Amino acid sequence: MSMIFSGRVVVVTGAAAGIGRATALAFAAQGLKVVVADMNVAHGEETVEHIKALGGTAVFVSCNVALESDVKRLMEQTLSTYGRLDYAFNNAGIEMEHGRLADGTEDEFDAIMGVNVKGVWLCMKYQLPLMLSQGGGAIVNTASVAGLGAAPKMSIYCASKHAVIGLTKSAAIEYAKKKIRVNAVCPGVIDTDMFRRAYEADPKKAEFAARIHPVGRVGTVEEVASAVLYLCSDGAAFTTGHALTIDGGALAI
């Protein structure tokens, strides 16, 4: 598989923790210059320190992906710092309180859609023109297995991740002839702070989370990161508009 990344530039959102941090580290290990974007300044700067300690190159940009002005500034800073943008991993996302559809609130709906859907849309809106002007690029958006099927008691989150796949597929077709590939990753339950917040209070729920994956465990952040790197690599040159599950077989049942 061709993984020639050296000297290229990637933006990773939600890179202060979990899947985003692991993917930022994995890109840096392949020689990319990494723009670490997140709302959490302290942990975002920590990701940059980790990368530098391993001999990599990275810069932190504080960014709330739900705000157009922040996303525009993120891409401007990427250009002014590293001069180009080759890849983007639009990964920042938030979960929801578990509850039935009728128990959700308007504020919760707006918050989840604002980050998970508008955030991904805004990122692509400002990344695509940069990639177009350079003659190509690759984008990976974080959806979820909840973007491909039902997620009882997480209906708003589920709808937001379906929307991420809709944005991904539409952008992939619109820019296919411009050498810009757009794909999504659809993780099952992955061991991150988000997972721990949702399941660790109740050990029975954590056991259930492991059991829904036929491999018998939850996934690791590194397992998602390697899928993202593959989708960005030239080895995936014929793959666009795809929603790749990283779910230990959960959706194969």
Active site residue 157: yes
Contacts of 252 (CB under 8 A, 6+ apart): 214
Which residue stretch of 73-81, 132-140, 165-173, 192-200 sits at the interface with ligand NAD (rule: CB under 6 A)? 192-200
* 62 counts as binding ligand NAD under rule CB under 6 A: no
The nearest distance, CB 80 to ligand NAD, in angstroms, is 20
The nearest distance, CB 110 to ligand NAD, in angstroms, is 12
Which residue stretch of 126-134, 174-182, 188-196, 234-242 sits at the interface with ligand NAD (rule: CB under 6 A)? 188-196
Among 12, 16, 140, 229, binds ligand NAD (CB under 6 A): 16
The catalytic residue among 126, 157, 175, 199 is 157
* 75 counts as binding ligand NAD under rule CB under 6 A: no
Which residue stretch of 78-86, 169-177, 187-195, 230-238 sits at the interface with ligand NAD (rule: CB under 6 A)? 187-195
The nearest distance, CB 237 to ligand NAD, in angstroms, is 25
The nearest distance, CB 66 to ligand NAD, in angstroms, is 5
Among 26, 75, 115, 165, binds ligand NAD (CB under 6 A): 115
DSSP, residue by residue, the chain:
-----TT-EEEEETTTSHHHHHHHHHHHHTT-EEEEEES-HHHHHHHHHHHHHTT-EEEEEE--TT-HHHHHHHHHHHHHHHS---EEEE----------GGG--HHHHHHHIIIIIIHHHHHHHHHHHHHHHHT-EEEEEE--GGGTS--TT-HHHHHHHHHHHHHHHHHHHHHGGGTEEEEEEEE-SBSSHHHHHHHTTSHHHHHHHHHTSTTSS-B-HHHHHHHHHHHHSGGGTT--S-EEEESTTGGG-
Indicate which residues carry an active-site annotation. Answer: 157
- The contact set with ligand NAD (CB under 6 A) reads 13-14, 16-20, 38-40, 43, 63-66, 91-94, 115, 119, 142, 144, 187, 189-190, 192-195
